[in-house]
Structure 1
Amino acid sequence: PSSYWFEDFYWAVGAFPISGDNGGYVPTYEETSWGLFDGPFTSEYVSTDALVFVGNLAVTEVDIQGYPSHSSPLYYWQAYNVLGDPSLVIYQTQGEVNNVNYMDVLPIGIDFFEVSAEPGSYVAISFNGTLHGTAMIGEQGIVEVPITPIYEPGMADVVITKPQFQPVMNQVLVTPLDGPYVTIDEFTVDAGGDGVVEFGETVLITVTLENVGSDPATDVEMTLSEDDEYITLMDDSEEFGTILPEGTFSQTYAYSFIVSNSVPDDHLFELAASITADEDTWESSMHMTAYAPVISAGTIQVTNDDNGNGRLDPGESADIGVTLDNDGGAVARNLSVFLSTSDPFLTINVDSDTLESLEAYSNAQVIFSVSVSEDTEIGHNVLFDLSISADNDYNTTDSFTLSVGLVLEDFEMGSFAGYPWEFGGNGPWTISTEAYEGTYSAQSGAIANNQTSEMYVSVNVTTDGEISFYYKVSSEASYDYLRFYIDGSEMGAWSGEVNWLQAAYPVSQGEHTFRWKYEKDWTVSNGSDCAWIDYIIFPSVSPPQYPDISVTPMSLEANVESGGTAEENLTIANSGEGVLNYSVIIATGSRQSADFISYKLGKGEVDTRPGLRSEKDFGGPDEFGYYWIDNDEENGPDYDWIEINSVGIALTGDSMDDYSWGSIDLGFDFSFYGNMYDMVNICSNGFITFTSSSTTYSNQEIPNAGEPNTLLALFWDDLNPNNGGTIYYHGEFDRFIVEWDSVPHYGNGGGPETFQVIINANGTIIYQYKTVDTGDGCTVGIENATGTDGLQVVFNSSYLHDEMAILFYAEDPWLTVSPMSGSIDPDGSANLMVTFNAEELEEGEYTASIIISSNDPDEYNISVPVILTVGADMIVEMTVDHFENWNMVGLPLAMEDANVMSVFPDAVENTMYSFGENGYEQEQELAMGAGYWLRFDEEGSNTISGEMVSEITVNLLENWNMISGCSESNSGWIDPDELVIPNTLYSFGENGYENANSIEPGLGYWVRSYGVGQIIISSDIGLTKSKPVSLDGIKYANTISFNGNTLYFGVEIPDREALSYGLPPKPPAGGFDVRFADNMKCMKESGMIEIMNNSDQLIISYNVKIDDAKHINWVLINPVTHEEFTLTRQGVLEVSGEISNFELRKVPEIPESFSLSQNYPNPFNPVTQIQFELPRDDKISLKVYNLKGEEVRNLVSGTYRAGYHTIRWNGTNQDSEPVASGVYIYMLEAGTFHSVKKMLLMK
């Protein structure tokens, strides 16, 4: 935040307890309330005035919560005003289309106008500049807008708007209706004696119809229909007789329907109404909502317990009161409630209770009795199950958990794995040995001024209770505080020197977040500058949902030839109930035969250990690949001191001897020994770590398994900033600098020393030494996360001098993992790609560990040992699987004996064939890069030994080629001449050909080429490098599959893509294959399907998306039996017998009867469409007449085939002259069939 006032920040993005510049930390959306910026994206605060309003609300909340502030909220309410239209809506992007529909005509004198649109849309109807009616569309998406009737013809304006949707501004014709026009005036329901439609009820409907037309409506009848699985009409038709113009007619209990017992609550449904009178028909509808109970367990109370503390304890009996909440809109009657548990430590004495009724949106309590075993452990969680039943077959279940005794978090696991703790602010809390009881507690993170350190946990409290905890504070009194919050409300705050004390606060049942935050003000640090929390007693809570991690395989070995690469998959699975969060650390092994042994000196003790130093001014590589070089070497770095004492942040503290500050944000992700870090800890004793808060003053040799690890040791010695000097840090976008400015040694150890480290975003590290007074007692070097690998420049020896620079850099690592972190949902998994790179490695064996840290409380860290063997010509073994019958194979390794029976001893002799210019040819020897047909009598596998081949060149002929790949899986090739036709890489399986996405070693493939040439298949290639071609031609096609092999139909493939949809040559006899007769896998119209079937049964599945519901049928015909299968939407067929082909044919659907449809659009100007249906070939005429009965246009006259037909009329007479606006009649005659309808031409 860089605003002048904190309130400007709050006003823009919402309330959040910031402090100073917040240490550069920007809160997330979840951590703040709504402000002006995010309000319109997540709420109805969308107009300019509402934006100001929600911003002012955020400022007001800050005042209520007591967050840091500069101004009063009253000022914002007074000063921030909209000088313009307050209702103006700002669009965040291009508006969406609002799907609207409304009446075609607004009849004169009518007092309503029906509109459907997106829920939340506003509707306004006006005429000649006067507003006649407004309404808002509700959840049903339809509304009858009440309007002041309009009594003169013309055009009414219809305006429909909704924020972030395109406005609709149209006109509708206001006109007197010729003839009758009947609509639903009103309706009421009687549902169980009230007007609420509830589950299981029989509902009676009373309807009033109104004739808003100009002529009487005779023989009026209304019929209802429904398309809803929860509604069943019992009485769906009623006669209303004659209704005069502007008259009404009511029928009491005219209709009835039954509501299903299983209807969901708040279920919206529609009853469609068709109203007829003589030859006229009008469509209308009635919209209703059905309700059902929604019952669940609410507040849980423990009463009548033996010791009266309101919780279950070992060895006691108690009553459990369960409040049942009915959040549904229907009453539940005659409830029976049963309680059960499978917990061996709990006995239910009274397991049932009843309620006469539970009204809608109400609650009531049921009581049970239980006993707890004396052997139950404190903190044991008991899961209870509730079974609830009521009239009308209502049944539901729920569960809740109660804890026996205290629900405790005392951090004695030595970690935060006991509960789903989360952390925020500028430094995470850590585990400390400064405990109230036991060994461990939680300690706030090391932070600088104007920073915070937070930890919080969200839990479901199952019954009213309290939370208590012990706290300890050592800070600047009245300025640096430990604060405790429940759901964002501060409950307590403490500062200064406070020894262990207990705090307790009441907590209600429900979801709650408990947060502890240590925050510092602008300056001064006193005491230990931190806070501790221990022995938290929660109220009864549901057990946290923990993840359960598993990793496969548990070890990795790879053999790679010198200069080569290899890849392996590592799978992390989560079989638990909670989300698994994981991170990966790579720890490469050390070439040292053993780690150096740590030796701890007494404070101020003289170090007599012998020193070590390099005889050269450069060194490395270590096992990972790091090197170092200093500026005394010809190609070393330049000494270029960067002074930051005027721009950097000074680290302060009450006692800075043996002190660590952290975690401090680097400002970028930094790669160190293959792992990514964005935070550092700075120790006063001349070193930095990325993970450790160690403050040890005894420098050690590197590498060393003891703390600190992930180490940058610039001048690791017993330094004491308390006696002088200052430590600064300064971050820029691509580097982070820490400077020890004139810092002396402890006691009389010498000094002062001035040195710095520059951490560059590009991965390099530079140590610089401005002045060195006593440099023969320190350690200089770097070390990985486990202390098993590192570079030591000097240990306890004279080496450093004034104006010196040392550069650390790394070659590409030999082991990488991607991704390095992630989250996995319950019952999910993630694949990690492990890459071995031997390009810079000498022959030999290399070891490492992949350490996976997670929030699984039982397996916090899992270590996967890794061994890489690098050799000049590596002999490896590879297993290639095969299935029974014909397979496509290739040679996966370089072998001296590549005879087919040596490579695949399980194969049938003399059955290997290659494919060339002359077709199939029998072969005995396999060659790398070629593909072959090979037959096996049974399913199995062969183990093949040979040398790895990482790249091969494959010769291609024009058209189809059989190929194979190299010794590693890859997904492409280098195709410099763009020979390969896209989408033509095919593998072969038990169900025939299928498109392949990768080339696996040991398998053969088909690929199609535009011409003669070469491609290169290499293990270094990730994607096919060929000309991109859009292959969406079959994306929306119909599909039909035979035993899982899919063909496509109903679409036309562009000529430029046709080759991409061809199929390779048919497999040998005995293999399965299916294709269209022209060797294609797709076709547009009718076609023959050829099948090579190796079984006596075909499973045929289909999905018809194109032409479905367009009066077109696709028919599958067995040419032998002439049996026809009509393919409609989706389905599965089973066909037995020896079948070698089918015919797939597209045929028109034949209507069942004559029919004339209403023209569309209507009203129209000047073109409309008229559809009619003929069940047989017949001579027809379709003519248009005016209201005088005069023929205007003869549209059709002659014989038409059976089917569905559409005729267009362009509003002209027989002489092609435009006709006037008005009502016209069109009539269809076909044999003895006659039908007449009206249409309105409006210009």
Structure 2
Amino acid sequence: MVSGTTTWESYFSIEVHAPSLSTGNITINDTAGNGNGRLDPGETVVLTIPTENSGSAVSPTATGILTCSNQGLTIENASYEIGEIDAGESLNALFTVTADAGMIIGTPLELVYDAVAGEYSCQANYSIVVGLILEDFESNSFDSFDWEFGGNGNWTISTDAQEGLYSAKSAVISHNQVTSIYLETTVLADGELSFYKKVSSEGNWDYLRFYIDNTEMDSWSGTLGWSQETYNVTAGEHTFKWEYDKDGSVSSGSDCAWIDYIVFPPMATGALGTVSGTITDSATGLTIEGADIAGMTTSGVNGTYTFDMMPGTYSLTISHDDYYDYLAEDVLVEEGAVTTLDVALVPLPDLDPPTNPSAVLQDYNDVFVSWEPPGGAPVALWNQMDNPSTAGISAQDFETSYNQYDAMGADDFIVPAGETWSVFEIDILSFYSDGGGPCDLANVRFYADNGGTPGDLLHEFLDVAANPDETGNLFCTIPDTEFTEGTYWLSVQGRMDYGTGGQWYWTRQMAPAIESEFTTVYGNRNGFVSSKAAKHVTHNQRQGKLSIPNLSAVNEAYIQEPQENTSRSLLGYKIYRNGSVIYDSLDPLTVTYLDVALDAGVYEYEIVAVYDEGDSDPAPAVSATVLLPAPLNAAASMQGTNVFVTWSSPAEARDIDSYNVYRDGVLYSEEVSSTFFIDLATTAGATYIYNITTLYDGGWESEYSNDAEITITGAGGELIPLVTELEGNFPNPFNPTTTIKFGLNEPALVTLEVYNIRGEKVRTLVDSELEAKYHTVHWNGEDGSGKNVSSGVYFYKMKAGSYTSTKKMIMMK
């Protein structure tokens, strides 16, 4: 608060309340299904996901969103309105989902849950398994699977169970003997195997061991309660074995091991059927290597594949990165039979990457990233001056009415044989006279050729925003419009508030007299050559100029390259910096990005074109090295008993925020805005080393400058401040004495006065002519009559010539 020359300051704190969202464990409600608490093939269940607000304020209306990356799971309601969540409250989001009847038991489903409440959100990942291939020995036997036994005795059923009533227990054996239980099976897809185990044996001598394909995965000994183990298992033939072995002497505990609740990966539980076939390219007929067949296997070098699976009717998806997915529905797999499934995949269109990427360092720690569109930057294809004409299209006549469209001149252009153009922008450099121009809207029309004159109307875009500049130039964006080889006519009408005599020029009877008055179309021309030896269409890109006469404006048509078998469109770009996305835009016209406020280091940029069909491969990587130079020429000199430290800014200093000063390796003064620093707190005979660092945009700090070393001798010239300044008092708060420091850069009449919080003068400390140097004044807490002042807030005000400053101090008894 300021009143005249008096300033009051007050300090207070504000407590901010906000919601904070988090999620809990997912649960499955299948009471409407088979009630076993799992999601089984063909079953519809309700998934419940709690969302908690652990913050201190009610949340905005929250919405839960559930997605799944797996095929075969249908989410009936992808979003669920949770509503407002009070502080400390937890509300559930409910999602109804259905697993396809043909899904393989044991398939893991990956779910992503997002809770969004205004600007607040949280995300959680969940994994649930379709059905369970489970051995929990609750049949009180080993009949559920084809278990086999080995060693010196068969395992038995025990009532010491981790889950339910029963478990499997190792046989009673003697010293130097083993007993094992194992299962040979076919794992149908990559997955996990988990089980619970318990051990009571002679520690470090008698062991329970677990093997996959005779490779020991782990072992346990001593006294261990029930605990779970989990292992990754690949698709294929496997043997899972649990073995208990004893050494040559001593028995301890129960001298045995137990296993229970074994969850297997997707595997065959009975007689199998076989699916086999060949994957080919629909365009070339060539075989495709590496196609994924429903996660069961991949096609080999000759395009063939084969795998076994449980009998049933399935929906199988065949996919490859370079092709559209193929969904084979109602595939019947029968016991002991071979089902042939040959698939021809349709190639994805070529998704051309951006071209000519560049990364240029700016202002020390900014990087300017630029690129050109796929196919390269547009170039001049069309120039009126190549073919001027005196044929009779005249300039715009004046109009006495307003808001009129006119000047409907038209001229022809040719798309060469074998090429297809996609025009999405017409830029017209034009001019106008009188009237209320420039034009704010335009009509754009394309016509077929009719023997050298405009024929049938092909495309018409009315009231297109012209985005004019002050000289009359128009910039019109239209929807992508394709033209195959042939001759066409383009017409543009501009709308202007025409006054008497008003004209907008874009056509002439002869070649215009000034350079800017002609029509040019910019773009790329792309010819397409189908290659039978490749899976995709290859491109022969060419660039050049095409002339159109009679137009006294410049028209620019930016051309996109079409693709075979698709209507793909370029949507925008992504930029990856050192592997992470930093820019994701759906603006195909923006081809630059400024990456600002970077720390020192090497940064690699990869730019990807984003299409409606997916992302392209990245353009060739470009990199930039950010160096954050330290200050230069650090030096220290004596002025009296003070140290005057100076330095120079790094060359071409830009994006520098300030400097930090270190004394003897300890941060001494932060965010110094000048290139000098005065150390007033020195000790005679001491030696100090000063280093300076540069603080750059973003808060990044450079390395140390060179050492500036000095020993305090008490000698040296009087230090003259660069500016007149009231520095402050120390200590503050104080009792009863404090020291006030100020500096004068020239001799001046100085007054230094103390005021109380009511604005009443308490005492005059200085009222005299002082020389240019640093000064200190002590106040002992007494007023002008020699009485001690009471505790409280006081203000001291300094005047020196035109300089005035007031600061606050606190007397605290």
Which bracket does the TM-score occupy, shorter chain normalised?
under 0.3
Q: Which has the higher contact order (CA 8 A, sep 6+)?
A: 2
Give the TM-score normalised by the residue count of structure 2.
0.27
Higher strand share: 2
